[in-house]
């Protein structure tokens, strides 16, 4: 956590976390285009937006809320907790088009696409979706430690590395020792991630649940919206089985479960 240094005969504890220089916001913006009309889903969002505000305190958020239901509550939730916020209420049921418009507003090289059912402050001893926040397999993590991991991962991937797609969907499912990962995936271990080439991806879907290189994601969305006008990222992924065709594109996955989806009581409707 810290170290001791001596000034005159007085010892002062210096917290390394406070001395750390955070630069991730210079490389990554945060984009979300979603609805949240169901009670259990909204409970997750209410709990997690304040945590986002701490982990991503200096990041720019670009949020479109795609519904009138809970609009005032969602808008206030973000305004009260997110320092750098662009918020709109475009009701167009064309997820790809609206998401692309948000991405074009970003000034960074990469964007993190957030889902409204993510939790950020837990580890889960399972590769499934959380259904109960009192699950005994669930443990809470220190928010500052999680913030530091995000920072170091971003530096490793986008400052010191050349990652184009940092995969965040069902992270534990695709980490080593999982049945879904084998030698043919050719993972290379780094300090905070495993890297691999798109042609060796453990899943063929180009997931929106990721940190994306802006040029790549924009290009994929531009092609997508020429043929599809559908309302959700789930529809996008159903029509985007393209990951392995991206060949030598450099990808990564975090070594920790920094995001986990939560569908309380199994509720999947948005």
pLDDT digits (tens, 9 = 90+) for 168-219: 999 999 999 898 999 999 999 999 999 999 999 999 999 999 999 999 999 9
pLDDT tens by residue, 140-176: 999 999 999 999 999 999 999 999 999 999 999 999 9
Model pTM score? 0.91
pLDDT of residue 244: 97
Q: Mean pLDDT lowest for which of 4-13, 50-59, 76-85, 152-161?
A: 4-13
Q: Within a domain: residue 28?
A: yes
**Which residues span the domain enclosing 100?**
23-266
Residue 86 pLDDT > 70, yes or no? yes
Dump the DSSP string for 86-134: EEE----S-HHHHHHHHHHT--SSEEEE--TTEE-SEEESSSS-B--TT
Domain assignment present for 148: yes
pLDDT surpassing 70 at residue 269: no
**pLDDT higher than 80, residue 8:** no
pLDDT at 4: 44
**Which residue is associated with the tokens 């670009």?**
62
How many structural domains are present in the chain? 1
Is the distance from CB of 111 to CB of 211 less than 8 angstroms? yes
Question: Would residue 113 count as lying in a domain?
Answer: yes
| Per-residue pLDDT at 60 exceeds 80 | yes
Over residues 240-249, mean pLDDT: 97
Give me the pLDDT at residue 52, please: 98
Instruction: Assess contact for 98 and 235: CB atoms under 8 A.
Output: no
The model's confidence at residue 252, banded by pLDDT at 50, 70 and 90, is very high
Q: Which of 2-6, 13-17, 78-82, 178-182 has the highest mean pLDDT?
A: 78-82
Residue 21: DSSP 8-state: P
> CA-to-CA distance for 98 and 85, rounded, in angstroms?
17
CATH code: domain of residue 233: 3.90.550.10
Phi and psi for 100 in degrees, rounded to 5? -60, -40
Task: Give a yes or no: residue 179 inside a domain.
Answer: yes
**1: in domain:** no
| Distances 58 to 25, 120, 149, 178 between C-alpha atoms, Å | 6, 16, 15, 35
**Which helix H or strand E contains 33, and what residues bound it?**
strand 28-34
Residue 85 lies in a domain: yes
In order, the DSSP letters of 166-215 are EE-TTGGGGSTTSTT--GGG--EE-SSEEEEEGGG-SS-S--SSEEEEHH
Q: Residue 17 falls within a domain, yes or no?
A: no
- Is 46 a member of any domain? yes
125 compared with 16, residue with greater pLDDT: 125
Q: What is the predicted pLDDT for the residue at 152?
A: 98
Supply the mean pLDDT for the chain: 91
């Amino acid at each position: 956590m810290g170290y001791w240094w001596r000034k005159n005969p007085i010892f002062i504890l210096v917290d390394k976390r406070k001395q750390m220089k955070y630069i991730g916001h210079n490389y990554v913006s945060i984009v979300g285009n979603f609805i949240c009309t169901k009670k259990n889903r909204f409970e997750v969002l209410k709990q997690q937006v304040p945590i986002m505000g701490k982990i991503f305190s200096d990041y720019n958020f670009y949020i479109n809320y795609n519904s009138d239901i809970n609009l005032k509550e969602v808008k206030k939730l973000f305004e009260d907790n997110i320092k750098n916020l662009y918020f709109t209420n475009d009701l167009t049921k064309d997820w790809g088009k609206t998401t692309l418009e948000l991405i074009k507003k970003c000034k960074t090289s990469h964007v993190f696409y957030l889902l409204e059912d993510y939790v950020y402050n837990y580890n889960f001893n399972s590769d499934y979706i959380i259904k109960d926040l009192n699950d005994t397999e669930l443990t809470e993590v220190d928010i500052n430690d999680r913030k530091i991991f995000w920072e170091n991962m971003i530096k490793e991937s986008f400052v010191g590395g050349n990652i184009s797609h940092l995969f965040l969907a069902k992270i534990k499912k695709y980490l080593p020792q999982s049945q879904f990962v084998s030698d043919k995936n050719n993972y290379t271990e780094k300090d905070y991630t495993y890297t691999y080439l798109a042609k060796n991806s453990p899943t063929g879907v180009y997931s929106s649940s990721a940190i994306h290189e802006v040029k790549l994601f924009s290009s994929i969305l531009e092609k997508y919206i020429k043929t599809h006008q559908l309302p959700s990222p789930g529809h996008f992924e159903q029509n985007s089985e393209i990951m392995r065709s991206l060949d030598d594109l450099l990808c990564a996955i975090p070594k920790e479960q920094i995001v986990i989806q939560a569908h309380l009581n199994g509720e999947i409707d948005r």
